[in-house]
Amino acid sequence: MTATKSKTWKIKDIKGGITSAQGFRAGAVTAGIKASKKADCGLIISDFPCCCAGAFTTNAVRAASVDWCERLLPSKSIRAVFCNSGNANACTGKQGIADTKKIALDIAKLLDSEKEVVLVAQTGVIGHFLPMDKIGKSIPGLVNNTKKSVANSGADFARAIMTTDTKMKECSFTVSTKSGTFLIGGCTKGSGMIHPNMATMLAFITTDAKISPQNLNLVVKKTVNKTFNNLTVDGDTSTNDMVLVLANGATGVSVNQGDPLLAFEEALYKVCEVLCQKIAEDGEGATKRVEINVCKAASFEDAKKAAKAIANSNLVKTALFGNDPNWGRILCAIGYSGAIFSKENIVLRLCGTTVFKSMRPVVFDAKKLSNLMKKPVVHIDVALGTGKESAVAHTCDLTYDYIKINAEYHT
Amino acid sequence: MTATKSKTWKIKDIKGGITSAQGFRAGAVTAGIKASKKADCGLIISDFPCCCAGAFTTNAVRAASVDWCERLLPSKSIRAVFCNSGNANACTGKQGIADTKKIALDIAKLLDSEKEVVLVAQTGVIGHFLPMDKIGKSIPGLVNNTKKSVANSGADFARAIMTTDTKMKECSFTVSTKSGTFLIGGCTKGSGMIHPNMATMLAFITTDAKISPQNLNLVVKKTVNKTFNNLTVDGDTSTNDMVLVLANGATGVSVNQGDPLLAFEEALYKVCEVLCQKIAEDGEGATKRVEINVCKAASFEDAKKAAKAIANSNLVKTALFGNDPNWGRILCAIGYSGAIFSKENIVLRLCGTTVFKSMRPVVFDAKKLSNLMKKPVVHIDVALGTGKESAVAHTCDLTYDYIKINAEYHT
Q: Cα–Cα distance between A126 and A51 in angstroms, integer?
A: 30
B125 part of contact set with chain A, CB < 8 Å: yes
End position of a domain, from candidates B281, B305, B338: B281
pLDDT class of A149 with cuts at 50, 70, 90:
low
Closest residue to A332, CB basis, from B59, B197, B398: B59
Report the pLDDT value the prediction gives residue A200, as an integer from 0 to 100.
Answer: 34
- Same domain membership, residue B199 and residue B113: yes
Kindly report the CATH number assigned to the domain that includes residue A308: 3.10.20.340
pLDDT class of B192 with cuts at 50, 70, 90:
low
Q: B236 and A192: CB-CB below 8 Å? A: no
SS3 B204: strand
- Same domain membership, residue A115 and residue A53: yes
pLDDT class of A213 with cuts at 50, 70, 90:
confident
Which whole number is the average pLDDT over B100-106?
A: 97
A398 part of contact set with chain B, CB < 8 Å: yes
In chain B, the percentage of residues whose pLDDT exceeds 70 is 92
In a domain, B5, yes or no: no
B88 part of contact set with chain A, CB < 8 Å: yes
Reported as a single tens digit per residue, the pLDDT across A70-89 is 999 888 899 999 999 988 89
In a domain, B116, yes or no: yes
End position of a domain, from candidates A222, A256, A281: A281
B324 part of contact set with chain A, CB < 8 Å: yes
Contact B45, B26 (CB under 8 A): yes
pLDDT class of A1 with cuts at 50, 70, 90:
very low
Selected residue of A232, A403, A405, A409 to mutate for chain B interface (largest B Cβ count, 10 A): A403
- Same domain membership, residue B364 and residue B238: no
- Same domain membership, residue B268 and residue B402: no
Rounded alpha-carbon distances, angstroms, from residue B276 to A209, B159, B224, B266, B280: 58, 17, 10, 15, 6
Lowest-confidence region among B25-29, B196-200, B266-270: B196-200
In a domain, A4, yes or no: no
Closest residue to A192, CB basis, from B94, B315, B402: B315
Rounded alpha-carbon distances, angstroms, from residue A325 to A50, A256, A355, A375, A377: 49, 47, 9, 13, 15
- Same domain membership, residue B92 and residue B42: yes
Tell which wins on pLDDT, A109 or B338. A109
Reported as a single tens digit per residue, the pLDDT across A281-293 is 888 888 999 999 9
Domain count across chain B: 2
- Same domain membership, residue B395 and residue B254: no
Lowest-confidence region among A12-21, A125-134, B186-195, B303-312: B186-195
In a domain, A330, yes or no: yes
**Cβ neighbours of B369 in A, within 8 Å:** none
Report the pLDDT value the prediction gives residue A199, as an integer from 0 to 100.
Answer: 31
DSSP string covering B208-254, please?
-SB--HHHHHHHHHHHHHHTGGGB-SSS---SS-EEEEEE--TT--B
Reported as a single tens digit per residue, the pLDDT across B369-384 is 999 999 999 999 999 9
Kindly report the CATH number assigned to the domain that includes residue A76: 3.60.70.12
**Mean pLDDT score across all residues of chain A:** 86
Reported as a single tens digit per residue, the pLDDT across B8-18 is 889 898 998 88
A334 part of contact set with chain B, CB < 8 Å: yes
A98 part of contact set with chain B, CB < 8 Å: no
Tell which wins on pLDDT, A384 or B283. A384
Q: Cα–Cα distance between B39 and A72 in angstroms, integer?
A: 65
Closest CA to A234 of A47, A54, A26, A406: A406
In a domain, A50, yes or no: yes
Selected residue of B56, B57, B59, B61 to mutate for chain A interface (largest A Cβ count, 10 A): B61
In a domain, A149, yes or no: yes
Tell which wins on pLDDT, B292 or B167. B292
What is the ipTM for the molecules in this complex? Answer: 0.72
- Same domain membership, residue A205 and residue A76: yes
Which whole number is the average pLDDT over B125-146?
A: 93
- Per the rule left: phi > 0, alpha: psi between -120 and 50, beta: everything else, B190 is left
Contact A220, A75 (CB under 8 A): no
Taken in order B26, B30, B34, B36, is the CA torsion positive or negative?
A: positive
* pLDDT exceeds cutoff 50 at B198: no
Which are the contacts of B105, defined by CB distance < 8 A and separation ≥ 6? B115, B118
Reported as a single tens digit per residue, the pLDDT across A311-349 is 988 889 999 999 999 888 898 889 888 899 998 899 999
Report the pLDDT value the prediction gives residue A2, as an integer from 0 to 100.
Answer: 44
Report the pLDDT value the prediction gives residue A3, as an integer from 0 to 100.
Answer: 46
Taken in order A103, A109, A111, A116, is the CA torsion positive or negative?
A: positive
Lowest-confidence region among A85-89, A274-278, A341-345, B89-93: A274-278
- Same domain membership, residue B305 and residue B227: no
Which are the contacts of A344, defined by CB distance < 8 A and separation ≥ 6? A358, A359, A385
Closest CA to A74 of A100, A102, A58, A54: A54
* pLDDT exceeds cutoff 50 at B155: yes
In a domain, B383, yes or no: yes
Closest CA to B181 of B115, B250, B97, B112: B250
Tell me how close the Cα of B320 comes to any Cα of chain A, in angstroms. 7
Which whole number is the average pLDDT over A227-232?
A: 71
Q: A90 and B333: CB-CB below 8 Å? A: no
SS3 B134: helix
- Same domain membership, residue B302 and residue B269: no
Which are the contacts of A56, defined by CB distance < 8 A and separation ≥ 6? A62, A66, A69, A70, A198, A199, A241, A242
Name the catalytic one among B100, B200, B232, B239. B200
In chain B, the percentage of residues whose pLDDT exceeds 90 is 38
| Whether the predicted model's global pTM rises above the 0.90 cut | no
For residue A190, report the phi and psi dihedrals to the nearest 5 degrees. Answer: 155, 135
Reported as a single tens digit per residue, the pLDDT across A11-21 is 898 998 889 88
Reported as a single tens digit per residue, the pLDDT across A123-132 is 887 888 999 9
Tell which wins on pLDDT, A189 or B395. B395
C-alpha triplet A208, A214, A219: angle, nearest 5°: 70
Q: Cα–Cα distance between B92 and B178 in angstroms, integer?
A: 50
Tell which wins on pLDDT, B224 or A366. A366
Q: Cα–Cα distance between B23 and B28 in angstroms, integer?
A: 17
- Same domain membership, residue A274 and residue A323: no
Residue A298: Cβ-neighbour burial (10 angstroms; 0-12, 13-18, 19+): middle
**Mean pLDDT score across all residues of chain B:** 86
Q: Cα–Cα distance between B310 and B317 in angstroms, integer?
A: 8
- Same domain membership, residue A220 and residue A82: yes
Q: A239 and B399: CB-CB below 8 Å? A: no
Report the pLDDT value the prediction gives residue B5, as an integer from 0 to 100.
Answer: 57
pLDDT class of B200 with cuts at 50, 70, 90:
very low
Q: Cα–Cα distance between A312 and A305 in angstroms, integer?
A: 10
Q: Cα–Cα distance between A267 and A216 in angstroms, integer?
A: 13
Q: B93 and A125: CB-CB below 8 Å? A: no
Nearest Cα residue in chain A from B128: A361
B63, amino acid identity: A
Tell which wins on pLDDT, B31 or B5. B31
Q: In the A/B pair of chains, how many CB contacts fall below 8 A? A: 202
Report the pLDDT value the prediction gives residue A35, as an integer from 0 to 100.
Answer: 83
- Same domain membership, residue B404 and residue B346: yes
Report the pLDDT value the prediction gives residue A345, as an integer from 0 to 100.
Answer: 93
**Cβ neighbours of A322 in B, within 8 Å:** 406-408, 410
Question: Which range marks the domain in which residue A218 is found?
Answer: 10-281
Report the pLDDT value the prediction gives residue B201, as an integer from 0 to 100.
Answer: 60
Report the pLDDT value the prediction gives residue B232, as an integer from 0 to 100.
Answer: 67
Which whole number is the average pLDDT over B229-240?
A: 67
Which whole number is the average pLDDT over B210-217?
A: 87
Closest residue to B313, CB basis, from A236, A313, A404: A236
Whether B188 is catalytic is: no
SS3 per residue for chain A = CCCCCCCCCEEEEECCCCCCCCCEEEEEECCCCCCCCCCCEEEEEEEEEEEEEEEECCCCCCCHHHHHHHHHCCEEEEEEEEEECCECCCCCHHHHHHHHHHHHHHHHHHCCCCHHHEEEEEECECCCCCCHHHHHHHHHHHHHHHHCCCCCHHHHHHHHCCCCCCCCEEEEEEEEECCEEEEEEEEEECCCCCCCCCCCCEEEEEECCECCHHHHHHHHHHHHHHCHHHECCCCCCCCCCEEEEEECCCCCCECCCHHHHHHHHHHHHHHHHHHHHHHHHCCCCCCCEEEEEEEEECCHHHHHHHHHHHHHCHHHHHHHHCCCCCCHHHHHHHHHCCCCCCCCCCEEEECCEEEEECCEECCCCHHHHHHHCCCCEEEEEEECCCCCEEEEEEEECCCHHHHHHHHHCCC
Tell me how close the Cα of B351 comes to any Cα of chain A, in angstroms. 17
In a domain, A93, yes or no: yes
End position of a domain, from candidates B261, B281, B301: B281
* pLDDT exceeds cutoff 80 at B296: yes
Tell which wins on pLDDT, B335 or A375. A375
Q: Cα–Cα distance between A60 and A58 in angstroms, integer?
A: 6
Report the pLDDT value the prediction gives residue B54, as an integer from 0 to 100.
Answer: 83
Closest residue to A406, CB basis, from B126, B319, B332: B319
Tell which wins on pLDDT, A156 or A199. A156
Tell which wins on pLDDT, A398 or B382. B382
Report the pLDDT value the prediction gives residue A144, as an integer from 0 to 100.
Answer: 93
pLDDT class of A367 with cuts at 50, 70, 90:
very high
